[in-house]
Amino acid sequence: MDRAQKEKVVEELGQIFESSGVVVVAHYEGLTVAEMQDLRARVRGAGGAVRVAKNKLAKIALEGTDVAGIADLLTGMTVLAYSEDPVAAAKAADEYAKANDKYVILGGAMGGTVLTADGVKAVAKMPSREELIAQIVSCIGAPASNIAGAIGAPASNIASILTTIEEKAA
């Protein structure tokens, strides 16, 4: 890799660290190509991406950022899983780590906060952005459906009373 390519990689990694909601750092030593493709597919399905980069270039990209503390995690065969959603990549990486013991989560970063491996697992347990939106919408919609049910209830009560009276008269 020549100097221009290295500068381009450092720039791309810098943007990943800057714009991602969460970055998970893990060891992947011993994973087969098929297992790595499975990891990439799972993270991509969750709305994230996976990147393998030279640790030295990633450390250069981390210099001067809020999460420069994760540079200590970049030793050995490391892989980065990241997403804009602050939970998606952490959730996908944690699920994959449970299924494959060769994939070991070392830690990561969420916004400007450096996370330990336990911190990544805690983030993975949080509801995703879509789940939170669904919960908020259901909370907003619940009172409206209750009001509609209350308004519609007297009409159904009157209808059943009229039916009962009609049956007695007949």
Which pLDDT tens digit goes with each residue over 124-151? 888 877 777 887 887 777 666 666 665 6
Q: What pLDDT band is residue 96 in, cutting at 50, 70 and 90?
A: very high
| pTM, 2 dp | 0.72
Sheet holding 104-110, edge to edge: 48-51, 78-83, 22-27, 104-110, 113-116
Strands, E assignment, the chain:
22-27, 48-51, 78-83, 104-110, 113-116
Chain segment 63-77, per-residue pLDDT in tens: 888 888 888 889 989
For the purposes of burial, counting CB atoms within 10 Å of the CB of 119, is it exposed (0-12), middle (13-18) or buried (19 or more)? middle
Of 52, 32, 45, 24, nearest in space to 100 by CA: 32
Phi and psi at residue 111, to the nearest 5°: 65, -120
Measure the CA–CA gap between 43 and 6, rounded to whole angstroms: 25
Measure the CA–CA gap between 67 and 128, rounded to whole angstroms: 22
Of 75, 57, 77, 63, nearest in space to 12 by CA: 57
What local confidence, expressed as pLDDT, does residue 49 receive?
92
| Alpha helices (H) in 79-128, listed in sequence order | 88-99, 117-125
Chain segment 34-69, per-residue pLDDT in tens: 999 999 999 999 889 999 989 999 999 988 888 888
